Every structure is written in C-alpha cells, then in structure tokens.
Chains A and B, each alone.
Chain A
Amino acid sequence: MTHDYENPWGYRLKWLYMLTVVGVLMLPVFYTLYISFNYGGFGAAEYEFTWLWYRTLFENQEIRTTLGWTALIAVIVVACTIPLALLAAKFYQRTRFKVPFVFLMLMPLFVPADVTAAALLVYFKNLNTLTESVLGLAMFELSLWTAVIGQITWCLPYAFVVILVTMARFRPEQAEAARTCGANAWQAFWHVEFPQIRAGVFASTAFVAILSFNEYVRTNFLKGGFDTFPTYLVSYMLNTGMTPEVYAMAGLFTVVSMSVVIVVLATTMLRERS
C-alpha cells in the first residue's frame, strides 16, 4: 500500500514495536493472573498451581452479594445508556447546534471521575434537602439509583461516540427512501437503519457493560449502603494489603472483562466473514 512494504524489516520492526507495547500494557495484568493461581501467593519460593483462592472467593457470601450488586447496576446502566445514546446520535444528526451538543455529551470524558463524583454527591445532598422541604420526601438518598446516574454520565459519551461512528457509515438516503415509501420515522429506523448499525449497538452494549462493571470512583462516592465488586476489592486491599484473595479477586475481574471483549471481537469477526 505504501512505501513501507519496500523495506520489510522496517515494517516488521514496527509491528514488533506495536505488539511489544500491547504486551507491556497487558503484562502486569497477566502476571497477577498467574500469581492468583499460586498456592503461596506473591513472592513464594516455588509455584504450585491451585484453585484454592478462587474457591475461597466464591464461598465468601459477602463477595457473592457484591457481584450481585455489580451485575444489577451494570444491567440497569446498559438498559438506560444504550437507548439514550441512540437518541443522542439521532439528535446530533438533526440538530443545528452540533458543537454545543457534542461538547455537552463528551465533556464527562474530560472531567476527572472524582471531580464529577464529588460534584454529584453534593448536588444530590442539596436536592435531598430541597425535595424533603417541598415534597416531604428525600428523593435522592444515596442508593442504587444515584450510583446508576453517576455511571450513566460516564458511559453515555462512549456509547454515543461508538454509535455515532457506526451511524456515519449508514447512508441517510435509504431511510429517506423508506419514508417516501410510506414508513413512519420509527419504521424507517427500526427496519432499515437499525439492522445496519446493529454491530455498533452490540459493541457499545458490551463496552458499557464493562465500563459499568469496572467503574470504581463514581460508584464509591454515590452508592448507598452496599458494596460493588470494585469498591469491595479496593477497601479489602487497602485494609489487608496484598493477600492471595486480592490477587484472586483481581484475576476474576480480569477474566470477566476479557471474556466479554473476546466474545464481542469473535462475534464481530464471524459476522464480517459471513
């Protein structure tokens, strides 16, 4: 394609560099995974493979509860974020105020998690005082829902971008043709456009699910009196240090995220081939 092919060694060297960088980024994660199967944990003299630490993990009732909360939040966040992202992408295509709208949608990416979370925390506390004095009911007590709201502000930009980029490949003439043939806006979207952007929607669903599953800072600030898996892991780690259980929890975390990514990639590639 370009002159790079003329020098095969330069080309191979660049490939090597790219794969090395990916390897370096992944190495610490794989290393913890490796340690998590060691009977003696980190720094043991010899390596002895065991499932023991994972078994301890799953026998722990508290951890099972945290996994339940994490999954529940992830499901709610996905169910809210994906429709919002679709609406936002459609809105972006039509609106005259593209730049302010993009700024509004993407700004959460450029504000650190702790700043957003702290601002939301104080906001919710104030809203509580307000709704309590007006309605006699504190509507924004820290709970599952405040954590969900915090996570949606974080996940929506990503889902928006992924869906927007997919939608940009769809030719609007097709939807216009459907409209001319008598379909209403919903039918033109659902029967003509959606099947073509399904891959992007699928990818962003997985993306949002993982983002929600991994999210720590916002959840930690905004959750009610329960723990999600990440918040449990961090407080456990800060309290007890680097015990084998911590490695096993980290390993579980990694395996869940990676399997979702691999399933998505495999499905996408199979779909492309067929």
Chain B
Amino acid sequence: MKASGPGGAGRGILWRRLVADDGPGRLLFYLPAVFMTVFFLVPLGLTLVWSVFERTMFWMKPGFTLAAYGDFFLSGRIDSFLNSVQSGLATVALAFALGFPIAVFVRRSLPPAAQHKAVLLFILPFMISEVIRLFALRPVLGRNGIINDALIGSGLIDAPLDWLIFTPTGVVIGEVLSFLPFMVFCGFLAMEGVPDYVFELCSDLGSGVVRTFVRVIVPLAAPGIFAATLFIFVNSLGLFLVPDLLGGPGAANAGTLVVNAISALDFPLAMAIAAVMVAMMIVLLLIGHRLFDITRILQPYR
C-alpha cells in the first residue's frame, strides 16, 4: 500500500513517506482539534481562572477574589443582563413562529430539486454583514423612516411611531431579522433526512394539521430547532452591536457589558461575565444533547 500507486511514481520519496498511512502526515489530522483547543477551548476555560484574579490598575494579578462576580451579580449589570435574557427569549419565540413554518413548507411541499435553492434564498441576507443589516434598520424604523412614512402616508397613523427603534422592541426586531435565517437552515437540515413517506403517512392516516405538527414534525426536527434556539439565544445575549445601534439609552446585553468592562480595563469583570456566559452555554448544550442528539443534524440519512 505504501508503494507508489499510479501517478505517484514521479513524486519524491519524502512526499511518499509523508502521505504513507503510518507516516507523519497522519498527525496533520489532529491539527484542527489542536487549533480549536489552543485558541478556543483553553482561552474560554481560563476565563474561569482569570475571573477570580485581583484587579490592578491596568491589568490583573493572580489571586482569589469573587469581587468580579459581586460586581456583576450585585449591581445594575444583572438587571441589564436579565433584560437581555428576556429579549433573547422573545427573539427565539418570534424566530420560531416566523421561520420554522418556512422550513416545514420547503421540506414538505417543494420538489426535491427546488428545496436547496429555496433554502439558499435565506443565505443572501445572512451573507450581508451584521453591521450593515443592523445599521440599515435605522433609516427603516426611525421617526422619518420608510415604515413611519408609509403608515402616515396611508393615513393609518397621525404621528410617527417612536417605539420601533431605540427601545427594547427595536432590539428584538434587530435580533429577529439577524437570526431568523438560522431557524430556517437548522429546521430544514434536521428534516432533510426524514423520508417523504412519513409526511404522506400522516395525511393518509388522517392526522390533522396541528396534530401532525406537534406529534410528528416538531419531534423530528427537534435537534435542529434546539440548535437554532440555542444559537439565537446565546448570540442575542452577546451581540453588543444591537443595543448600541438599536437599543435606547442604557440598553445593554452581556456583550455590551463585556466590551464596556474591557474598555474600563476591568479585565476580571469581563472574564467573569464571559465565564457566566460560557457556563450557561455549556449547560444548555449538554441538556440539549441529552434530550435530542445534536449530531443527528450532521448525519444525513442515505
């Protein structure tokens, strides 16, 4: 097997050694895992350690103090955080209500060849920078934006609606528009492997629309729904641009709190908030994995 195969005869001996089954080349396969461990897992794990360090003027020094956690949990920060949890949950619910039916429709009612193309439609908004999409909401939702112009022009309202932007509603609108495509992608991906006869059986056996949805479709798509829910929830807590661009004065989420703590050179506080976020994410991820094996999304049935 290690001998040069067809087309390989001209290559150098070094190359042949490298790609041989027991050659050093096989170590390359560990590279992605090593990279992710070194530059992702370890830094995030260390946030827990850094969060108990003592704050110094411009940096921090090793020690053990829970001051940073106190700063987070026993101050106004926890209120901002809980508010952002609320808008995160609202975002998830809206994204599910608006986006998941699309995934079901695409999977059930479109011919197989068209399904991927329909889902790709949602790639387009996702590929526009988050910064631009959020920024673009200002001229749309603002006092003299197109929505207010259209509503006033049609005589439906007299004065511009001023709760559309720079309010908690504005934050939720921005988040839903940012993350809705994920519900479509994940929902579709989870149902892609479900054979067509499952859906046909439901209607053949006379199961109603609601019953089919609750008892068949949602359980089958559960890993996808969960992945999308977690993604949307965690990212809506973290995206610090949303409160900055669309929230009212003082609007903040976990991301804003981290960024502000870093700008104030309070590194232990930033690391404490990061550690809380990571812990929350891991707990949710483990629960979700227990309930509905998330790796199922990645293994299309043949």
List residues of A whose CB falls within 8 A of some B CB.
1-5, 11, 14, 17-19, 21-22, 24-29, 31-32, 35, 42-43, 84-85, 87-88, 90-91, 94, 98-99, 101-105, 107-116, 118-123, 125-126, 149, 152-153, 156, 160-161, 164-165, 168-169, 179, 181-187, 191, 207, 210, 213-214, 216-217, 221, 230, 233-234, 237-238, 242, 246, 250, 253-254, 257-258, 260-261, 265, 269
CA distance A87 to B25 in the complex (A): 11
- The residue on B at minimum CB distance from A213 is B129
Q: Is B32 an interface residue (CB 8 A)?
A: yes
20 additional contacts (CB under 8 A) given A122-B46, A221-B262: A1-B111, A18-B121, A105-B36, A107-B36, A107-B40, A107-B41, A111-B44, A111-B234, A112-B254, A112-B255, A120-B43, A122-B50, A122-B271, A123-B39, A123-B43, A184-B1, A184-B20, A213-B129, A258-B124, A265-B120
**Contact indicator per residue, chain B 103-142, by CB within 8 Å of chain A (1) or not (0):** 0011011110000011011111101111111011111100
In the complex, the answer to whether A112 meets B133 with C-beta atoms within 8 Å is no
In the complex, the answer to whether A168 meets B300 with C-beta atoms within 8 Å is yes
Residues of chain B within 8 A (CB-CB) of A94 are 29
In the complex, the answer to whether B133 meets A29 with C-beta atoms within 8 Å is yes
- The residue on B at minimum CB distance from A182 is B5
Q: Can you pick out 21 interface pairs between chain A and chain B where the beta carbons lie within 8 Å of each other? A: A4-B108, A18-B105, A21-B102, A25-B181, A29-B125, A42-B139, A105-B32, A110-B230, A110-B281, A112-B235, A113-B239, A115-B274, A118-B262, A182-B3, A216-B129, A217-B239, A242-B139, A257-B128, A258-B128, A261-B124, A261-B127
In the complex, the answer to whether A31 meets B125 with C-beta atoms within 8 Å is no
In the complex, the answer to whether B5 meets A187 with C-beta atoms within 8 Å is yes
Q: Determine how close the nearest CB of chain B comes to the CB of A29; give it in whole angstroms.
A: 5
| Residues of B254-270 contacting chain A, CB below 8 A | 254-255, 258-259, 262, 267, 270
CA distance A210 to B129 in the complex (A): 8
In the complex, the answer to whether A122 meets B267 with C-beta atoms within 8 Å is yes
Given A18-B118, A28-B133, A265-B120, the answer on whether A99 and B295 have CB atoms closer than 8 Å is yes
The segment from B69-77, B154-162, B196-204 found at the interface with A is: B196-204
Residues of chain A within 8 A (CB-CB) of B59 are 125
Q: Determine how close the nearest CB of chain B comes to the CB of A164; give it in whole angstroms.
A: 6
CA distance A38 to B150 in the complex (A): 19
Among candidates B25, B42, B122, B199, residue contacting A123 with C-beta atoms closer than 8 Å: B42
- The secondary structure that dominates the A interface is helix
Q: Determine how close the nearest CB of chain B comes to the CB of A130; give it in whole angstroms.
A: 12
Q: Is B10 an interface residue (CB 8 A)?
A: no
In the complex, the answer to whether A250 meets B136 with C-beta atoms within 8 Å is yes
Residues of chain B within 8 A (CB-CB) of A104 are 33, 36-37, 40-41
List residues of B whose CB falls within 8 A of some A CB.
1-8, 16, 19-21, 25, 28-33, 35-37, 39-44, 46-47, 50, 59, 98-99, 101-102, 105-106, 108-111, 117-118, 120-125, 127-133, 135-140, 144, 146, 177, 180-181, 196, 199-200, 203, 230-231, 234-235, 237-241, 244, 254-255, 258-259, 262, 267, 270-271, 273-274, 277-278, 281, 285, 289, 294-295, 298-300
Residues of chain A within 8 A (CB-CB) of B300 are 165, 168-169
Q: Which 5 A-B pairs have the closest CB atoms?
A: A112-B238, A28-B136, A214-B129, A88-B32, A123-B43
Residues of chain A within 8 A (CB-CB) of B294 are 102
CA distance A260 to B124 in the complex (A): 10
Among candidates A22, A111, A181, residue contacting B125 with C-beta atoms closer than 8 Å: A22
CA distance A87 to B179 in the complex (A): 29
Among candidates A21, A84, A112, A185, residue contacting B31 with C-beta atoms closer than 8 Å: A84
Among candidates B7, B50, B128, residue contacting A29 with C-beta atoms closer than 8 Å: B128
Q: Determine how close the nearest CB of chain A comes to the CB of B28; give it in whole angstroms.
A: 6
Among candidates B29, B140, B289, residue contacting A87 with C-beta atoms closer than 8 Å: B29
CA distance A118 to B122 in the complex (A): 30
CA distance A90 to B30 in the complex (A): 10
In the complex, the answer to whether B31 meets A87 with C-beta atoms within 8 Å is yes
Among candidates B2, B131, B231, B237, residue contacting A214 with C-beta atoms closer than 8 Å: B131
In the complex, the answer to whether B39 meets A103 with C-beta atoms within 8 Å is no
In the complex, the answer to whether A28 meets B140 with C-beta atoms within 8 Å is yes
In the complex, the answer to whether A32 meets B135 with C-beta atoms within 8 Å is yes
In the complex, the answer to whether A114 meets B255 with C-beta atoms within 8 Å is yes
Given A101-B33, A110-B230, A164-B298, the answer on whether A31 and B136 have CB atoms closer than 8 Å is yes
Among candidates A2, A25, A122, residue contacting B109 with C-beta atoms closer than 8 Å: A2
Given A32-B139, A104-B36, A121-B262, the answer on whether A214 and B130 have CB atoms closer than 8 Å is yes
Residues of chain A within 8 A (CB-CB) of B16 are 184
Given A2-B109, A25-B180, A91-B33, the answer on whether A115 and B5 have CB atoms closer than 8 Å is no
In the complex, the answer to whether B98 meets A21 with C-beta atoms within 8 Å is yes
